[in-house]
Structure 1
Amino acid sequence: MKIGLLGTGFGRAHAAVYAARADVEKVVVFGRTPAELRPLAEEFECEATTDPDEIYGDPDIGLVDVCLPTPLHAEHAVRAMEAGKDVLCELPLAASVEDARRARERAGRPPAHPR
């Protein structure tokens, strides 16, 4: 399994779980600042990027784990689904009912870019 992990806050706990799993081949962690990414990538032996499009555009990544601030959850869950990825999203899914509906509607359609 190859995973794109969005976020360095709660993402740190998720990275630790993935690092301990034999079935996880690769993890690419997205964060906004290299200073926060570097220690996480070194500790858990994963790749790091400050460009989330590297995760959405990587055909090898099948799962995107969204561990960003709540107001960004729905936006990135939808982007991941549109890229043909499965999604694991930290709770809550969205900061508003409108965003939650948008994510739910996206989940019910085929991906825009199948992997």
Structure 2
Amino acid sequence: MDDLEVLRREFEAEDGSFLLRLRGDLHWDRQAFGRLERAMRRVCARYEAEERLDRWLVDGYWFLADFVPGWTGHPNFPRPEPDYYEAALERLHDLQNWFVTGRSPYTDTHVWPDL
């Protein structure tokens, strides 16, 4: 499955998606988040030089960066360990910024660690 198809499935909260597990099951699925995050990163790199962006992609990046911290911010939400959780939220924000501006917040030599 190509990255755009992964993002479409994730942004539409289809079966097995990170967003569906987060919203419906109140479960942070690390494997699903990793799949989503890697696809978001690759799409950012692919679209860096684009002058026009598809609305559904912009909406998806924006929604995730805003929704996930709000939804999981409740004290009773079963969040993963704090270091991982904070890094994941920062990553969503960084990817939102990169996609919308077309500029990575890091240098070209930055290595994005897997979460």
Same fold (TM over 0.5): no
TM-score, normalised to structure 1, is 0.30
Q: Which has the larger share of helix? A: 2
TM-score, normalised to structure 2, is 0.30
Q: Which has the larger share of strand? A: 1
